[in-house]
Amino acid sequence: MSNTEPSVFTKIVAREIPAEIVFENDSVIAIRDIAPKAPVHLLVVPKTQQYRNVAELAAGDPALLAEVVAVAQSLADEHTDGEFRLVFNTGESAGQTVFHVHAHVMGTNAPGITLTEGTLVE
């Protein structure tokens, strides 16, 4: 994807493709992941497509990065048991498939289920 082509997240913000939106304000949107890797798997996405990864976001707009993290914490408080993973994949070999920076919030809300080594343990 070039930075001139709208990312899937930009299309979600524009309501061109559907998504289950769990939070939205002027600068950030949060949605449920369509291929969850945990019982709770949310994506927190800056609405701007200007930054491809978290390193670019940190250098270019640290306040927006702080907002993404704050929204992630708030959503984790609301949707998980309070313990969660906050992950930014940076680069294709690290698992990044959409080059529009986004945070993965992964956790559980069920007793006896934990996340470990990227898999669910019951």
Q: Which residues are catalytic?
A: 102
Q: What local confidence, expressed as pLDDT, does residue 2 receive?
A: 45
Global confidence as pTM:
0.89
Residue 1: pLDDT band (50, 70, 90) is: very low
Q: Where are the domains of the chain?
A: 8-121
Residue 122 pLDDT more than 50?
Answer: no
Rounded Cα distance between 13 and 86, Å, is 22
CATH no. for 8-121: 3.30.428.10
Degrees to nearest 5, angle at CA 25 with 51 and 101:
20
Backbone phi and psi for residue 10, each to the nearest 5 degrees, phi listed first: -60, -40
| Strand boundaries in the chain, DSSP class E | 21-24, 28-32, 40-46, 84-87, 103-107, 114-116, 119-121
